[in-house]
């Protein structure tokens, strides 16, 4: 699977921007003497890093000409959700509405070509509604995992998930989605490194929007089987195991390593299901 020089350069720039913005967020926190920097820093670190990497892998057309061109818009919406949740707004209903709106918008935007194709038989309507419900529930799960004291394991877990999901997507005949999953993983890891292992917040809505878009696109437009898509959507549930007392008592680095291992287990199951159902056709786009 060839990787262009432009994509490599974009990945390097994405790493630098994500790490640098996270470091600036930490520095601003120390200089201002506040407990935590604004979530805008995390949203910028992950969002801008991803956008740079996306442009190098699959330069989006304006207006979007392909469904993949819509993913950067989802990343921007995720940044808006981070802004909505900034300023200590931790009310449960605000969080529920914000993440439900993000998942719903992502689903509708990515399925635009399908939804605009005309009338649907009852079976298709059931499939669309069921997929939408799964997307919303998966988004809410990740949203509630994003607790300030547990961001290290959540971000590391999502980074491992992004890379693992990319592997599942390349097995489903989409090299482009594999690279975009890698871009997101790099942005998350660089943000963590730049913040010295203590993510500054705000990046989870961005990552969630992009991950939802990648899975929906793989399921609808590539060859990701429904069972594998459902397992990927549910994979972050395993991160709740890091909140159990035996693991919760461990240090943040150990919890983060355990989170990465845990989330790769269902991802491996999803990959195995893809291999079991995979045809002999070549890669998609």
Domain ranges in the chain are: 5-277
Over range 193-206, report the average pLDDT.
86
Task: Pick the range with the lowest mean pLDDT from 207-211, 219-223, 232-236.
Answer: 219-223
Show the tokens assigned to 127.
């499939």
Cβ count near 124 (within 10 Å)? 12
The model's pTM: 0.89
| Residues 252, 197 contacting (CB under 8 angstroms) | yes
Quick: pLDDT tens for 116-142: 666 556 666 777 788 888 889 999 999
Show the tokens assigned to 185.
């993983």
Over range 189-203, report the average pLDDT.
86
| Residues 57, 10 contacting (CB under 8 angstroms) | yes
């Amino acid at each position: 699977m060839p990787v262009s020089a432009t994509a490599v350069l974009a990945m390097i720039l994405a790493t630098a921007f994500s790490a640098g913005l996270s470091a600036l967020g930490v520095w601003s926190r120390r200089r201002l003497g506040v407990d935590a920097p604004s979530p805008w820093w995390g949203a910028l670190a992950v969002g801008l890093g991803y956008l740079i990497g996306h442009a190098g892998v699959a330069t989006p057309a304006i207006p979007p000409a392909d469904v993949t061109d819509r993913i950067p818009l989802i990343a921007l919406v995720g940044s808006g959700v981070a802004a909505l949740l900034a300023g200590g707004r931790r009310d449960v209903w605000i969080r529920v509405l914000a993440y439900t709106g993000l998942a719903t918008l992502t689903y509708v935007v990515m399925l635009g070509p399908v939804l605009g194709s005309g009338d649907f038989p009852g079976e298709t309507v059931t499939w669309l509604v069921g997929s939408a419900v799964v997307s919303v529930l998966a988004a809410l799960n990740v949203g509630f995992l994003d607790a300030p004291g547990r961001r290290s394991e959540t971000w590391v877990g999502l980074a491992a998930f992004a890379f693992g999901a990319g592997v599942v997507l390349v097995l489903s005949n989409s090299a482009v989605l594999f690279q975009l999953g890698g871009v997101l993983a790099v942005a998350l890891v660089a943000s963590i490194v730049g913040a010295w292992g203590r993510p500054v917040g705000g990046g989870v809505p961005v990552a969630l929007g992009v991950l939802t878009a990648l899975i929906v696109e793989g399921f609808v437009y590539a060859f990701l089987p429904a069972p594998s898509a459902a397992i990927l959507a549910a994979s972050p549930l395993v991160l709740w195991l890091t909140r159990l007392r035996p693991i919760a008592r461990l240090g943040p680095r150990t919890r983060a390593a355990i989170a990465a291992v845990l989330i790769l287990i269902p991802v491996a199951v999803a990959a195995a299901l893809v291999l079991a159902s995979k045809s002999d056709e070549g890669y998609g786009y």
